[in-house]
Structure 1
Amino acid sequence: MSNSPIMQQLSLPLNILNTEPKTTSQFQEILKTLNMTNSPGWPDKFGELIHNWCTKKSYSPIKTLSLFTGGGGLDIAFHDCGFQIIKMLELEPKYIKTLETNSQPGKYLENSQPICINIRDYFPSPELEIDFIIGGPPCQTFSAAGRRASGVPGTNDTRGKLFLEYVRILKKLQPKGFLFENVYGIIGAENGKAWQTIQTAFQEAGYTIYYRILDAADYGVPQHRERLFIVGLKTGNYLFPAPTHGPDSIGKEPFYTALAAVKDINISEKKLEIKGKYGHLLTDIPPGLNYSFYTDKMGHPQPIFSWRSKFSDFLYKADPEMPVRTIKAQGGQYTGPFSWENRRFSIAELKRLQTFPDAYEIVGNRSVCIEQIGNSVPPQLGRILALGILEQVMGVKLPFSMQYLSPTQKLGFRQRKRQLTKRYAEKAEEAIAKFSTQSLEKLQTVSLSINNYPNQRNIEKFLSTDFGWHDLPKSNSVKIYLNYDLHSSCWLIDAGKSQLRDKKNQYSIDIIPSANFPDWVLNTERVKLIASDWDLEVFTGLWKAFEEKLRQITGKADLVQLSGYYQYQPKIKMTMSFSRELETNSIWRVVESIIKGIGVKTQLSTQKLAFLWGVNTEDIFQYMQCLRKIGYEVRNHNTNPQIIPGEYLIPYTFPTLNPKSVQLRKNLEFRI
């Protein structure tokens, strides 16, 4: 007989398969059996009652080893379902503090042993007896952020090979089974090669594997969070539990909404307001939407951002009537989810949205707490998976009936995601329609009138080494003199290192809307940037000056929003002209090519770039370093490991680095 997971699952006894249709809600039956109500924070009570029931049973302890423990989400789940967490391995000392706090007598994970260690240095004792292993290695190498940065490194990155350490420990300890969690991008990494390698490694360790991509919201978590789960078994079979909530659940139990999860939380945390350049924008964003509300694609009358120019969690405001989108472990000042009350969620609220127990103490400052929450498996999802393992693998009869997915049964969360896109587009349309005609006229008048910004001569601005643009001198800043002459026919911006009276122009850059986007937001036909000095800092200063006026007059956030995200056709067209002939290998000739769009927007080898720019191949790295110094974002294998060694990516035809740029803190050259 075939040894495939599907064939093995089809051979399950009927009493275990338990997939016959029912009309009543499985979740409501569980609540009734446990004598509990569907009140705010109900997952805490669910975990408590399940744990009490398991404690009263007389079956032998299921000794469990936790790998890549993080903040302990899976450990909470399996602990509640009767698994004895023996050891918890975690690399980060700041996360270990949380595990140590909650492992003390009388605490949630009492008697568990946290170990701060690199898994590569962990060699379990031959005497250690383990029945089950849980955990998932860091997922950055397979994440959406990696895909957005031009593919994922997968197993080409050292973090992507940590599953091999997992396999090494499996071979050493030979438990009955394991549960492995990661982002679903792992399946598509390296065109599926990484996923095949991972499956083969687990199978060669002696385990039959069963896997599914699940959405946490389908299992009682007030958060949409899609993750890959692998269950590996030495013997026996495994079916994944059927959803307890949502349209795919038995009885169509409604989702556990964000509002229901947090409505009884008393907010004691301070400094939850959102300030800064974009904080005020959150107020008008309808719940469920993000920065895209302020794009022309959504129909906003005065777009600030370009479509898909930001991550989806940028200025994302949660919808109280739905589960929130995925809580991210790390993010910037404007990374949501934000509350529908136009503030940040408190840590207590984020714990509820991730179904961490109120009594479970997460140690650290706000950012460290969010890291631990965002990196964890939501405990309520983990509990349902653990109960399925308890019943099918460990042979424990549960006090209520569990329903399971057949091997061929499909879930609809991907399709529902597409439906949500339509729903939120309609909400954006409704919100914009509520703007009064007077408000729109006022918005357009204030934003587009160049008369509000009179023409100026010999204005002093200061460019700092981190590409900040200031009115007053800063440490290590240089002075740039500027002339502004803004008219409906042309915006003229001149820059130089000294006052600009009667100075000769050395080069100019002409900017016009591209043929496919004739209606740009600038109240002028074209823009002309003029430099009076052969100076790279003057070049950067010109772009900073243009960006500043763009922001002041139109409300556009930055130059990227004017041109559009680099993976789309640019909305502007540019040319560069010189007052005299340049040397062939001059940096200015390279800049001229980039401004024309030559050698940008795609990964190219040094040889290809040298050919396109008409320079020597051995000089490419030097040119790339120079481009970084004048504010261009340049990526290579050292800044983004998913980029093939020897290739480069310059996303935009103009400088985009600023003091808050992630790329600013990366280096093109490998450093130990």
Structure 2
Amino acid sequence: MKAIDLFAGAGGLSEGFRRAGFDIVAHVEKDFTASLTLKTREAYYYLKDNSKMDIYIKYLSGKISRQELYENIPEEVLNKVINQEISDETNDEIFNKIDKLLNGEPVRIILGGPPCQAYSLVGRSRDPNRMKNDPRNYLYKQYLKYISRYRPEVFVFENVSGLLSANNGVIFDSIQNDMRTLGYNIDYRLLNSRDFGVLQSRRRIILIGWIDDLDFQYPDFNVIENEYTIKDLFLGLPNINAGDKIDFEETQIEINNCLKELHINNDFNYITQHIARPNNKQDLEIYRLCVDTWDRESRQLKYNELPENLISHTNKKIFLDRFKVVPYEGISHTVVSHISKDGHYYIHPDINQNRSITVREAARVQSFPDDYYFESSRTAAFKQIGNAVPPLMAETIAESIKEVLDE
């Protein structure tokens, strides 16, 4: 079943739908580093399917360059990644590229969610105009142009919960009305990734549209109640300190049921991108106090509780949760793209490591498998991970839709 992923990011939706058996014909993504990640993932699947994983390992270990990796991948595989901004000026060119990839076959499903900064509650709080005139409010119209052209049987539209209240709900009402005008039935839920087995509380709107003559209704997803914790999830990753990194290391990784069931690691005996950002002395002292408070009292330390010599912000009445520990014995709070700016909201629970979580740990929290590689820097990787849809959640959604399309 042919699928297109728009505003694809690092490919979280694509990964889940691919696992469920969909053929992702094209990923359209304007960010260059995210598009490189998508190409690397396409290369991974091609090499895996053709028993050439040694080439992928050589790339991860730095023995061959990205260009040398590409030389082992057919052009039509790499061309699935379209690194262009979706706009009125570029759509015709993108349509032509997708049409070539489809080679006359129909699109069964379209995935994606337009960039969400203009809808996010945090974004609005930082904008004096509450983002009322932000052009990103209307990127959904570009998404609908692809729905109109390819007429998929189903589409999946993902976005932040803030979309429900953006412009007092007017924007979301407009989106739904425009979708119905195209001849689709629609329904949505505010879903939490934790209910899909992801070890993270992450609430997102998942809207599904389907053509009139399709016997479909919004799935009733069974809540997955597992007892796995962050401690289970981080198993096998070596202890490191702030500023340390393991870019690539071959090792016999210890595997538990958590890592198997969440598809984090299935006999991939390599550690990549276990990279911790460096921190100054003040940050590290704050981290130590936060973890100590959590260990002793099972609560997050508020900013105004810090010793005076560690307080650098004059405002001590708002944003008091500037620093937050990811607890060993529970699940993580939402990983967002701000993790690319600093790690204060994602402090590692081991006081002896005294750092924020690494790229690989963040990827695991988002349910990306260990064989997933994020291009091309630590900052870019964190941003891609923070913006992604958890693949484990996407896979469950995909399986429910596939059951209907298979009939």
Correspondence for 1:137 among 108, 114, 128: 114
User: Deviations for 1:558-604, whole angstroms, at most 9, x for unmatched residues?
Assistant: xxxxxxxxxxxxxxxxxxxxxxxxxxxxxxxxxxxxxxxxxxxxxxx
User: Deviations for 1:526-570, whole angstroms, at most 9, x for unmatched residues?
Assistant: xxxxxxxxxxxxxxxxxxxxxxxxxxxxxxxxxxxxxxxxxxxxx
Q: Are residues 1:280 and 2:289 paired?
A: no
Say if 1:347 and 1:366, in contact at 8 Å, map to a contact too: yes
**Greater CA deviation, 281-290 or 197-206?**
281-290
Whole-angstrom distance in 2 between the partners of 1:108 and 1:193: 46
Whole-angstrom distance in 1 between the partners of 2:3 and 2:275: 39
Say if 1:216 and 1:226, in contact at 8 Å, map to a contact too: yes
Whole-angstrom distance in 2 between the partners of 1:122 and 1:255: 46
**Displacement of 1:263 after TM fit?**
1.7
Whole-angstrom distance in 2 between the partners of 1:372 and 1:311: 26
Say if 1:255 and 1:323, in contact at 8 Å, map to a contact too: no
Correspondence for 1:85 among 24, 29, 32: 24
**2:69 equivalent in structure 1:** none
Whole-angstrom distance in 2 between the partners of 1:87 and 1:270: 30
**Displacement of 1:212 after TM fit?**
0.5
Aligned pairs for 1:328-339 within 5 A: 328-331=336-339, 332-339=341-348
**1:239 equivalent in structure 2:** 218
Say if 1:141 and 1:160, in contact at 8 Å, map to a contact too: yes
Q: Are residues 1:118 and 2:59 paired?
A: no
Aligned pairs for 1:285-300 within 5 A: 285=290, 286-287=293-294, 289-290=299-300, 292=302, 294-295=303-304
Say if 2:29 and 2:35, in contact at 8 Å, map to a contact too: yes
Say if 2:284 and 2:355, in contact at 8 Å, map to a contact too: no
Whole-angstrom distance in 1 between the partners of 2:29 and 2:301: 36
Say if 1:141 and 1:152, in contact at 8 Å, map to a contact too: no
**1:181 equivalent in structure 2:** 158
Q: Are residues 1:354 and 2:366 paired?
A: yes
Q: Are residues 1:106 and 2:78 paired?
A: no
Whole-angstrom distance in 1 between the partners of 2:184 and 2:194: 29
Say if 1:65 and 1:87, in contact at 8 Å, map to a contact too: yes
Question: SS where residue 203 of structure 1 aligns?
Answer: helix
Whole-angstrom distance in 2 between the partners of 1:108 and 1:277: 49
Correspondence for 1:371 among 361, 368, 383: 383
Cα separation, partners in 2 of 1:208 and 1:309, compared to 1, 3 Å: same
Cα separation, partners in 2 of 1:118 and 1:272, compared to 1, 3 Å: closer
**1:45 equivalent in structure 2:** none
**Displacement of 1:361 after TM fit?**
1.4
Correspondence for 2:349 among 340, 345, 348: 340
**Displacement of 1:240 after TM fit?**
3.0
**Greater CA deviation, 346-355 or 176-185?**
346-355
User: Deviations for 1:500-545, whole angstroms, at most 9, x for unmatched residues?
Assistant: xxxxxxxxxxxxxxxxxxxxxxxxxxxxxxxxxxxxxxxxxxxxxx
**1:204 equivalent in structure 2:** 181
Say if 1:241 and 1:384, in contact at 8 Å, map to a contact too: no
Of all paired residues, the percent bearing the same amino acid is 27
Correspondence for 2:6 among 41, 63, 67: 67
Say if 1:338 and 1:345, in contact at 8 Å, map to a contact too: yes
Cα separation, partners in 2 of 1:291 and 1:278, compared to 1, 3 Å: farther
User: Deviations for 1:25-58, whole angstroms, at most 9, x for unmatched residues?
Assistant: xxxxxxxxxxxxxxxxxxxxxxxxxxxxxxxxxx
Contiguous gaps of at least 5 residues in structure 1: 1-61, 246-252, 397-672
**Displacement of 1:311 after TM fit?**
7.0
Cα separation, partners in 2 of 1:154 and 1:209, compared to 1, 3 Å: farther
**Displacement of 1:138 after TM fit?**
0.6
Say if 1:66 and 1:87, in contact at 8 Å, map to a contact too: yes
Question: SS where residue 372 of structure 1 aligns?
Answer: helix
Aligned pairs for 1:38-49 within 5 A: none
Aligned pairs for 1:575-594 within 5 A: none
Equivalenced residues, count: 322
Question: SS where residue 266 of structure 1 aligns?
Answer: coil
Whole-angstrom distance in 1 between the partners of 2:320 and 2:307: 22
Whole-angstrom distance in 2 between the partners of 1:202 and 1:360: 34
Contiguous gaps of at least 5 residues in structure 2: 51-72, 240-245, 247-273
Whole-angstrom distance in 1 between the partners of 2:390 and 2:49: 16
**Displacement of 1:174 after TM fit?**
0.4
| CA-based RMSD | 2.6
Q: Are residues 1:158 and 2:170 paired?
A: no
User: Deviations for 1:341-385, whole angstroms, at most 9, x for unmatched residues?
Assistant: 231212221111111011111111111001111110000111111
Cα separation, partners in 2 of 1:334 and 1:363, compared to 1, 3 Å: closer
**With structure 2 as the length reference, what TM-score do the two structures score?**
0.73
Whole-angstrom distance in 1 between the partners of 2:91 and 2:11: 19
Question: SS where residue 229 of structure 1 aligns?
Answer: strand
Whole-angstrom distance in 2 between the partners of 1:357 and 1:142: 29
Task: Give the structure, 1 or 2, with the largest relative contact order (CA under 8 Å, sep 6 or more).
Answer: 2
Whole-angstrom distance in 2 between the partners of 1:295 and 1:142: 29
**Greater CA deviation, 326-335 or 129-138?**
326-335
Whole-angstrom distance in 2 between the partners of 1:190 and 1:108: 47
**With structure 1 as the length reference, what TM-score do the two structures score?**
0.45
Say if 2:111 and 2:157, in contact at 8 Å, map to a contact too: yes
Structure in which a larger fraction of residues adopt helix: 2
Say if 2:275 and 2:359, in contact at 8 Å, map to a contact too: no
Correspondence for 2:236 among 261, 264, 270: 264
Aligned pairs for 1:197-596 within 5 A: 197-234=174-211, 235-245=214-224, 253-266=225-238, 268=246, 269=274, 271-272=276-277, 274-285=279-290, 286-287=293-294, 289-290=299-300, 292=302, 294-295=303-304, 304=311, 309-310=318-319, 312=321, 314-331=322-339, 332-341=341-350, 342-391=354-403, 393-395=404-406
Whole-angstrom distance in 2 between the partners of 1:349 and 1:369: 12
Which structure's CA Rg is the greater one?
1
Say if 1:182 and 1:229, in contact at 8 Å, map to a contact too: yes
Cα separation, partners in 2 of 1:157 and 1:301, compared to 1, 3 Å: closer
Cα separation, partners in 2 of 1:71 and 1:289, compared to 1, 3 Å: farther
User: Deviations for 1:160-204, whole angstroms, at most 9, x for unmatched residues?
Assistant: 211000111101110001001000100101111111111111111
**Displacement of 1:128 after TM fit?**
5.8
**Displacement of 1:88 after TM fit?**
0.5
**Displacement of 1:334 after TM fit?**
4.5
Amino acid at match of 2:398: A
**Greater CA deviation, 131-140 or 267-276?**
267-276
Cα separation, partners in 2 of 1:75 and 1:145, compared to 1, 3 Å: same
